Structure 1
C-alpha cells in the first residue's frame, strides 16, 4: 500500500473513523510541520492544540491554523527573493545572448513594433532589442527588484516598466508582439492558464504575435525550485482558446551558465 496520501492515491484516507492520520508513514516534529505548511503556501501557521491520536509513546496528533497566501503574492515573494539574493547572471535560465528570441522577434515584427516582454526578469533581451533598433518596448515582471536591475543597467527612459503579476495585468495599450520565455509553464492550474490566454488576447493587436517558450516534454520538471508543466506542439494546441492560432513550434537547447543543457520549445501563436 502507498506510504502516504497523494492526489491520485487518496483512498487510504477514505474512512468514517476520526483517526485519518493512519495513512501517513512516520512522524514530524511540530516545527518541521509548520515549515512544511509554510512551503505549501501558507502564512501565520500556528499549532492550536494536540489530539488523542498517537503512534508511539512519544508522539501526538496536532491541529494547526494558517492563512493561505494568494498565488500572486507567492509568486511576487518568490521571484523578488531570488533577484534580491542571487546573482542573476548565474541562475540556470540566464542567457548572456538571447539569440533564439531575437531571431523569432525579428522574423515576425519590424523595429517600430510595440513589444511586451512578459516575466522579463533581468534578461538581456531588452538590451539586444535596443541595440537592434527596436524602440517601443515594455517590460513586465512581478519582481520590482528585477525591473530595478534592468533600469540601472540600460539607462533608457523610453522603455516602459510594469511591476505586475501576469494574471492581474490590465492595460489599454495593444501590442504587436508578446514575448514570454518561461512564464507560462509555471501556471499549474487550468484556470490560471485560461486567465493567461485571456490577458494575452486582450493585450495583442489583431493578427498580433506571441512568442512563448516553455520546457518541452521530457525536459526539466522544475525551475527555480518550482514545479512546471512541460509542453509539446500537440499539448499547446489543446490549451489554446479559439481566438488564438498556433502557427509554428521549434525545439531549442539552452546551455546554462553551469554548462548543462535544458530542453525548451518555442511556440509562435497568432491572434485571429
Structure 2
C-alpha cells in the first residue's frame, strides 16, 4: 500500500464516522451544486475521496441511480456500506488513488470535497487533472471543495494546499470553465470552524 493509503486506512480504522473534522451530517452545499448542474436521475455521478461521507446516502434518497464512490480507504467505504444497508449494492464502490486510478467509464458529475487539497505535489495534481480529462464527459460538471486561503494549513496530520476559485481554476484550465463558487464555514464535531470554498466547473465541449 502507498503511504497515502496506509494513512487513511488507519484513520478510518481508529476513528468513528463523526470523530473526524470533516464530518457533515448533511452535505448541503454539495447537494445544491449537484442540483445546479441539473443532472437527470440516470446521470453518472462520482464522489472522489467520498470515504464515509453521507453524500451518497442523500443522492440515493433523491433517486439518482448511477452512483460511484472512490476512496483510498476500504475501511471508509465499508463504513458507508454498512450505514446505507441494502441500497449499497446499487452503488459502485472503488478502492483507488485518484492520481493513479484508470477510469472505466465517463461521468456527468465529478464531486470532490476530500481529495484535491491534499495533493501538495504538482505531479500528483497533474495526474489528478489527467483523470478528470479521461473521466468527465464533454459538458459534464466538476465540483471541487478545498480549504480556502484562510482555512487550515493541515488536516488529519497532513499538509494541504489552500485555494480560492481563481487559483483552483488555474489548475484545471483550459479544459474546464468556472461556473460558480461558494464559501462555507464548516463547523467540526468539536465546534471549531474551518473555511472552505466550493467551485463548480463545466467541461468545455469537444
Bin for the TM-score computed over the shorter chain: over 0.9
TM-superposed CA distance for 1:170, in Å, is 0.9
1:93 aligns with 2:22: yes
Instruction: Check conservation: 1:182, 1:215, Cα contact below 8 A.
Output: no
For 1:195, the equivalent position in structure 2 comes to 127
Structure 1, unmatched stretches of 5+, are: 1-71
**What SS class does the counterpart of residue 4 from structure 2 fall into?**
helix
**Ranges in structure 2 where 5+ consecutive residues have no aligned partner:** none
1:169 correspondence with 2:101: yes
How do residues 1-272 of structure 1 correspond to structure 2 at under 5 angstroms? 73-108=2-37, 109-155=39-85, 156=87, 157-272=89-204
Stretch of structure 1 that moved more, 243-252 or 73-82:
243-252
Q: CA deviation at 1:194?
A: 1.0
State the shift of 1:110 in Å.
Answer: 2.6
Cα distance per residue 1:216-266 (max 9 Å; x no partner): 001111111100001012211322232121222111111111111110000
Note the C-alpha offset of 1:88.
1.9
Greater Rg, structure 1 or structure 2? 1
Shifted more, 248-257 versus 119-128: the winner is 248-257
Distance 2:171 2:82 in 1: 37
SS in 2 for 1:101: helix
After TM superposition, where is structure 1 displaced by more than 3 Å over at least 4 residues in a row? none
Per the TM alignment, residue 91 of structure 1 is displaced from its structure 2 partner at its CA by 0.8
SS at match of 1:167: coil
CA RMSD of aligned residues (A): 1.1
What is the rounded CA distance, in whole Å, between the counterparts of 2:43 and 2:140 in structure 1? 10
Residue-pair matches, total:
201
The CA deviation string for residues 185-226 of structure 1, in whole angstroms up to 9 with x for no partner, is 000111111111110111011111011000000111111110
The separation in 2 between residues aligned to 1:242 and 1:122, in whole angstroms, is 32
Contact persistence 1:197–1:241 (CA under 8 A): no
Relative contact order, higher structure (CA 8 A, sep 6+): 2
Aligned-residue offset at 1:182: 2.5
Measured in 2, the distance between the counterparts of 1:105 and 1:148 equals 24
Q: TM-score, normalised by structure 1?
A: 0.72
